Structure 1
Amino acid sequence: MDIMSYIKNLNTKDEIFSDVYQYGIENNVPIIDSDALTVVKHLLKISGARNYLEIGTAIGYSGLHLLSVFPDSKLITIEIDEEKHQTALSNFENHRVSERVTAIKGDAKTFEPDALYESLDFLFIDASKGNNQLFFDKYSKYIKKGGLIIVDNILLRGQIVEEELSSRNRRKLREKVNDFNQKLAESNHETSYLPVGDGLLVITKG
């Protein structure tokens, strides 16, 4: 066992939404890695954040876990895919958190924020990776100063450092994600890059 596998095993907790997790696995729906999820929830606990905005609902798996940290937390989440949106609504209903969720069916790239986005203290970006910069620029302004922002999949399953990628599209994606990572590292925000799951970028809004 290498050192990263050792750490991953320690960070991985028992699954509390096994039905949603299993559905994701069986239907090839990308979901956040268990060890990264543990870190995200720990950071929420430390920060005390209770008002969340999530870009990329998918089937509601990460949203359910976010809401499990504090019983009085609330989630606004945006998903472009109709089928995933409907599945997420069912999962929120089945796990009795619907009253704490505002689930929006729409394209986060063009969606126009409104009064929903007030006093938010956590932004979770987990949608199309090539749009990380767009999502950060568009939605980070709704997070209060000192609030928490986390971006998932910043390592692209290791492709972020691969010198040779046969696919032109993958090379373009790598370039976009790397440019975003570098830009945030050079910004005035406090940032940490964590090699858990597929990589987390943790930002404290300045």
Structure 2
Amino acid sequence: MSASVPPRIPPVATAPPELEEIVGRTLVASGVMRLFLTLAHNPRLLKRFNIMAGGLLAKGLLPARERELVILRMAFRCQSVYEFGQHTVIGLASRLRRDEIDRIVLPLEEAGFPKADEALILMVDELYDVNRVADSTWSQLRDRWNEAEMLELLMVAGFYWMVAGVLNSAGVEPEAQVPGWPAGTRISER
């Protein structure tokens, strides 16, 4: 979202009192992200969104590093700078290295990831491109992940695909302190 284009759905001007209960004291104390202030227009939706996001981020089965690799690739494919920036911060705290985050925006054959990470990136690309993971990719993933983890991988990719669509369509602008795209990232005009 360009700074010269106003958001389609601006964040609420004042956080409703129930927001602290919904998103937790930590987020409110540190400055609520614009995503939550935008979703606060519909507190019931925000509450359910936070349950799902919290379940995937804080209570999931997947290692944080691999989860963030999936989210960052989906954010890039969906061209959601907000999601990419927020999850750059989370990814760095989850053992992703800066060079890995910089390479997640490259074509898979140029990115130089290990095979296990390539399978995760390919899963995201296939879901984004054709809404189905190819049998060969599925087989590679199953070498590492059990059925419960496979379902969670699909849910993480799908959930953050949805979030990117909401962010992009509502025009939620990134916070000033959140990083944007890696230098040299090519974003296609759509």
Shorter-chain TM-score tier: 0.3 to 0.5
Give the structure with the higher percent strand: 1
TM-score by length of 1: 0.34
The structure, 1 or 2, with the larger RCO (C-alpha pairs under 8 Å, 6+ apart) is 2
Give the structure with the higher percent helix: 2
